[in-house]
Amino acid sequence: MRLLIIHAEYFRYEVREKAVEGAEPITDNSGEFNNVLVVFTTVEDGDGKAVNGLAVKVLEDISDIYSKVNASHIVLYPYAHLSSKLASADEALNVLNRLERMFKEKGFKVHKAPFGWYKAFNIKCYGHPLSELSREYKAEEVARQVIISRKYLIITPEGGVYSPDEYVYRPEEEDLKILVEKEVFKKELPGGESKLFDVCRKFGFEWEPMSDSGHMRYEPHATVMIEAVREYSWRVAKSLGIPVLKVMGTNMFNLKFKPIKEHADLFGDRLYEVESEGSKLVMRYAACHQQFAMIKDWVISYKELPLGIFEVADSYRFEQKGELVLCFRLRKFYMPDLHILLRDLGEGKKFSFNVQDRILEEMRRLGREYIAIYNITEDFFESNKDYVVELIRRMGRPALITLYPSGIYYWVINVEYNVIDELRRPREVATFQIDVGNSLRFNIKYVDEAGVEKYPVIIHTAIIGSIERYIYAVLDKAVQDEESGKTPNLPVWLAPIQVRIIPISNEFIEFANEVLNTLVKNGVRVDIDDRDLTLAKKIREAGIEWIPYIAVIGMREFKTKTVNVRIRASNIQKTMSVDELVDLVNKDLEGYPKIDSALPSYLTLRPTLHYMKELS
């Protein structure tokens, strides 16, 4: 944003004709003022992302000048000639209106000249040292400078409330201590390269060097894992016991639409923006935009609530380059986003217990526990403290509470569920929030028992977190297991190859094919190592891929129609029938999706995958 500030003895303008399509309606064709501070204002591209911060800075500077020159009035005058990088008409008008409101709220006599019109003006400048000034504000810098005040508490499952300074941690609360030190006391996280990133690369999760920073590629092993988690996230969404509709949609939305613009502004400075045919579009950072754009057109009755809407949304966040983390902090990722429509805040609070219970259960299935940050607006906390304590009681662990000023976000509570990773750093995976603003913003309504239209409360949740972050939690658990002396494993349903058949020689290939076909018919991802290598090397390479079951076939197995199975999780080796192997694997897969393999069944038909070769 750029300003030219003139302290004028006299200023008069008159509207002549419309200049842009988005010109605002006018009521007065002219304005005339004496002893006025005229603020010629150019809104630049991107200012809308930091509108609140810019408004605060402009208010501070103009207030200071106003008092020093003893002006009697302020005129905000839209002026498109101080920069070549202009904002869109909608963005500029939004920023100017925000400035006008803030000046009026502070008690200034302020007048905004009509936006989007050619105007003639006469001005007589006083000519003193402060009568001609200019200012420039960069949205990125202002966004970083504006700090939202926060208050921190620690609340125990018993309802005890403590300040982080006075809380005494129990020996089993090391995870909470790490989280509080980072979030409250801004303690620098440990450095170093995690072993986890080698494991990510082992399975084909890599940065794409020919793209923008923060974009990943998923090779065959990784693709299977992504598809498996994607399908599982849909099953989890349906497990809440309510009707859930699955949708799909676009990943970019035009900022000229007011609800899109307002929601984007609330998100902050991590928007991924593109321009197309003269319009500015924002890449969605979750499924919100698409789902809300659909739901507003539906006819919904109270009888259908609670109602869920689900999409695995390709999401975009312009994270800082230095903060990018493979498999965790990305600029493009997949978010299994579920929005749940509820009648009112009371029903939203009640249903959130179900959501949190499911979130905790999913991480416990991986053998991990969450530690939580409850971000809450101050007014909501004051009137709903018992509800917050009940959430923490059900979690069974103390939690960090961050209190925010009321009304600055669309939610009243936003919970971040963190794991502590191998390098002892908190990593947010799952989340839920109760949204009280977007149904009004997007005009989403339902009809109650009396036939009256009402705005629902919306729970946003990613029960298992983003697809990549869920996999990050899985792989990090394996790394921590290995460091503690255990064999690192993947859950069988997530293993890219679940069974590898190793015939000792080619004479057993035919029986190996029979075993493979039986397993494939039962939905098992299985392959045959038919390469001309030693048995020891084949077993070692299967171990590198963390394959849960290795089925070796020799003469004895061929004659008895059995397989000699090495079970990775228990490090047990035993002979069993093919049907017994099928039953064993299916028991591991119970309740989980069965996804086809992304590789040919025979290793001799595969190209050499570089990510496996480098680690073999």
Which pairing describes strands 446-447 and 453-454: parallel, antiparallel, or unpaired? antiparallel
Which residue's entry shows tokens 């009321």?
406
Does 468 score more than 80 pLDDT?
yes
What residues have CB less than 8 Å from 413, skipping those under 6 apart?
352, 374, 375, 376, 377, 380, 388, 433, 434
Does 616 score more than 80 pLDDT?
no
pLDDT tens digits for range 92-132: 888 999 899 889 988 899 999 999 999 999 999 999 989 99
Euclidean distance between CA atoms 380 and 375, whole angstroms: 11
- Which residue ranges form the domains of the chain, and what is each CATH number? 2-145 (3.50.80.10), 151-248+289-475 (3.30.930.10), 499-613 (3.40.50.800)
Euclidean distance between CA atoms 424 and 322, whole angstroms: 19
DSSP 445-464: -EE-TTS-EEPPEEEEEETT
* pLDDT over 70 percentage in the chain: 97
Kindly report the average pLDDT of the chain as a whole number.
Answer: 93
How sure is the predictor about 143, in pLDDT bands with cuts at 50, 70 and 90?
low
pLDDT tens digits for range 280-325: 898 999 899 899 999 999 999 999 999 999 999 999 999 888 889 9
Q: How many CA atoms lie within 13 A of 440 on its CB side?
A: 6
Q: What is the pLDDT of residue 49?
A: 73
Does 236 score more than 50 pLDDT?
yes
Q: What is the pLDDT of residue 21?
A: 82
Helices (H), 414-563: 438-441, 467-483, 509-521, 535-544, 555-560
Does 48 score more than 60 pLDDT?
yes
Q: What is the mean pLDDT of residues 151-162?
A: 97
CA of residue 52 relative to chain centroid, distance? 22
Cβ atoms of 14 and 120 closer than 8 Å: yes
How sure is the predictor about 140, in pLDDT bands with cuts at 50, 70 and 90?
low
Does 407 score more than 90 pLDDT?
no
Task: Look up residue 497 and give its two tokens.
Answer: 């190859």
pLDDT tens digits for range 209-234: 999 999 999 999 999 999 999 999 99
Euclidean distance between CA atoms 416 and 485, whole angstroms: 30
pTM of the predicted protein model:
0.81
* pLDDT over 90 percentage in the chain: 80
Does 260 score more than 90 pLDDT?
no
- The backbone torsions φ and ψ at residue 505, rounded to the nearest 5 degrees and listed phi first, read -150, 170
Euclidean distance between CA atoms 61 and 51, whole angstroms: 15
Helices (H), 239-300: 258-267, 288-295
